[in-house]
């Protein structure tokens, strides 16, 4: 029976590797086709704002990124094939020294380091060739290396103790290890979200409060009605790495922050800055961060429960082309193979995220002026060379924010 299960799982898994990658290539090609159709002029609604040459730059830039994405997809598929059906992961597991927990930790670290190294040429190409060509890159090789080294040190100092703890729970708690690991990881996630704004993000960027005399009063009024503190509005030196602009909301409790990229501020009028701030405050006021944390807690509970169920099932391991049954292999399968199965649910996540963007827009329209937000958004599109056209299905999988046209139409409807 177990033999049959593992056989079916192998077939299923192989099919998913192929179907997923082919589907992602298909989706990318749909988006490229959309860009090809609208390569010359922007849609009617945007003509007063975007010049033909700005629109063309956005199309060329995004097409270049997508084309690189196509190669990346093929490459990823081959790597995945090597790790599992060709048993690369199993060979790595058996080749490493040490026993028990040390062996498990070493296995996962070695695997991550190889994945990191395989991803490096792609990010070098993306930063220093692609972004550079379109005039966005501001990073230097030195800063790029420093960022990677910091990322690795941070990842190791968080990951290694966490892995040891999980493997300790696995070996000492028997059937209930998954529940204890779930609780541990959930608490840890809260801790990370909490320290992110004040401890982690400042390792990579400098932050200073957003002031400026004219802005100050506007900010005061907005943050007060959102129950926020003006001291929690920051500017980040994003221009060190790239000229792309953005704004985001992060953290919770006393550690929450609205962050503007300095690159964005340069482009915007005060009224537009306030409208975007109101949008970010909308996310806070409407409790979007606690809501998404709750969703992720529920999903992670399901994930750990499933790990508890599958962790002692031989067919599950054999079904993914690994004969060694161990907690390290189990974690590897859940982080590397599971996304293939959950990929098909991404449109649900996208849909929820878009709903929240619309809600934050509605909040901003009420607190400020819809026209200011429309103008701010259009400047964001212009500055980032983001195309204002998109394929509906592609965007349903990959874009957490609603397409430009839908968002602007909705904002127009608030004008009265």
Active site residues: 280, 361
The smaller minimum CB distance to Zn ion, of residues 54 and 359, is found at 359
Task: Collect all residues with Cβ–Cβ distance below 8 Å to 131 and sequence separation of at least 6.
Answer: 137, 242
For residue 195, what are its two tokens? 């320290």
The smaller minimum CB distance to Zn ion, of residues 258 and 332, is found at 258
Do residues 149 and 278 touch, judged by C-beta distance below 8 A?
no
The CA-to-CA distance between both ends of the chain, in Å, stands at 67
For residue 378, what are its two tokens? 């259009």
The smaller minimum CB distance to Zn ion, of residues 55 and 257, is found at 257
Residue 98 CB, shortest distance to Zn ion, in Å, is: 46
Residue 288 CB, shortest distance to Zn ion, in Å, is: 8
HSE (side-chain half, CA atoms, 13 Å) at 17: 21
The smaller minimum CB distance to Zn ion, of residues 185 and 362, is found at 362
Calpha distance 322→74 (Å, rounded): 23
Burial class (CB in 10 A: 0-12, 13-18, 19+), 135: exposed
Residue 397 CB, shortest distance to Zn ion, in Å, is: 19
Task: Collect all residues with Cβ–Cβ distance below 8 Å to 76 and sequence separation of at least 6.
Answer: 21
Residue 279 CB, shortest distance to Zn ion, in Å, is: 6
Residue 57 CB, shortest distance to Zn ion, in Å, is: 25
List of residues contacting Zn ion (CB under 5 A):
357, 360
**Apex CA 275: angle with CA 269 and CA 279, to 5°?**
145
Calpha distance 215→57 (Å, rounded): 32
The smaller minimum CB distance to Zn ion, of residues 357 and 367, is found at 357
Q: Are strands 257-261 and 233-236 parallel, antiparallel or unpaired?
A: parallel
């Amino acid at each position: 029976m177990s033999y049959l299960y593992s056989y079916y799982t192998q077939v299923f898994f192989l099919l998913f590797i192929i179907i997923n990658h082919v589907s992602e290539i298909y989706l990318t090609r749909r988006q490229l086709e959309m860009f090809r159709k609208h390569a010359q002029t922007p849609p009617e609604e945007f003509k007063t704002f975007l010049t033909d040459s700005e629109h063309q730059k956005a199309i060329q830039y995004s097409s270049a990124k997508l084309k690189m994405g196509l190669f990346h997809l093929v490459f990823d598929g081959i790597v995945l094939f090597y790790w599992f059906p060709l048993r690369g992961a199993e060979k790595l597991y058996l080749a490493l020294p040490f026993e028990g927990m040390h062996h498990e930790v070493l296995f996962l670290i070695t695997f991550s380091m190889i994945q990191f190294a395989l991803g490096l040429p792609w990010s070098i190409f993306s930063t220093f060739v692609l972004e550079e060509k379109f005039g966005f890159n501001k990073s230097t090789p030195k800063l790029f290396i420093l960022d990677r080294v910091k990322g690795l040190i941070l990842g190791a100092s968080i990951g290694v103790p966490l892995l040891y703890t999980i493997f300790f729970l696995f070996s000492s708690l028997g059937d209930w290890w998954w529940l204890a690991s779930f609780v541990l990881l959930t608490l840890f996630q809260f801790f990370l979200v909490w320290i992110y704004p004040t401890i982690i993000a400042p390792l990579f960027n400098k932050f200073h409060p957003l002031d400026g005399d004219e802005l100050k009063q506007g900010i005061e009024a907005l943050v007060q009605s959102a129950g926020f503190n003006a001291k929690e509005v920051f500017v980040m030196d994003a221009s060190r790495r790239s000229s792309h602009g953005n704004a985001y909301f992060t953290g919770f409790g006393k550690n929450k922050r609205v962050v503007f990229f300095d690159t964005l501020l340069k482009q915007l009028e005060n009224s537009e800055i306030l409208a975007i701030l109101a949008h970010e405050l909308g996310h806070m006021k409407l409790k979007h961060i606690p809501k998404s944390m709750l969703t992720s807690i529920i999903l992670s509970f399901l994930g750990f429960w499933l790990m508890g169920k599958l962790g002692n099932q031989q067919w599950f391991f054999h079904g993914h082309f690994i004969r060694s049954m161990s907690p390290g292999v189990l974690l590897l399968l859940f982080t590397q193979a599971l996304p293939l199965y959950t990929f098909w649910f991404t449109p649900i996540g996208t849909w929820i995220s878009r709903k929240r963007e619309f809600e934050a827009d509605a909040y901003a329209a009420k607190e400020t002026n819809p026209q200011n937000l429309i103008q701010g958004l259009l400047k964001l599109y212009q500055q980032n060379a983001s195309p204002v056209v998109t394929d509906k299905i592609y965007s349903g999988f990959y874009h957490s924010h609603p397409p430009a046209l839908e968002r602007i139409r909705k904002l127009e409807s608030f004008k009265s």
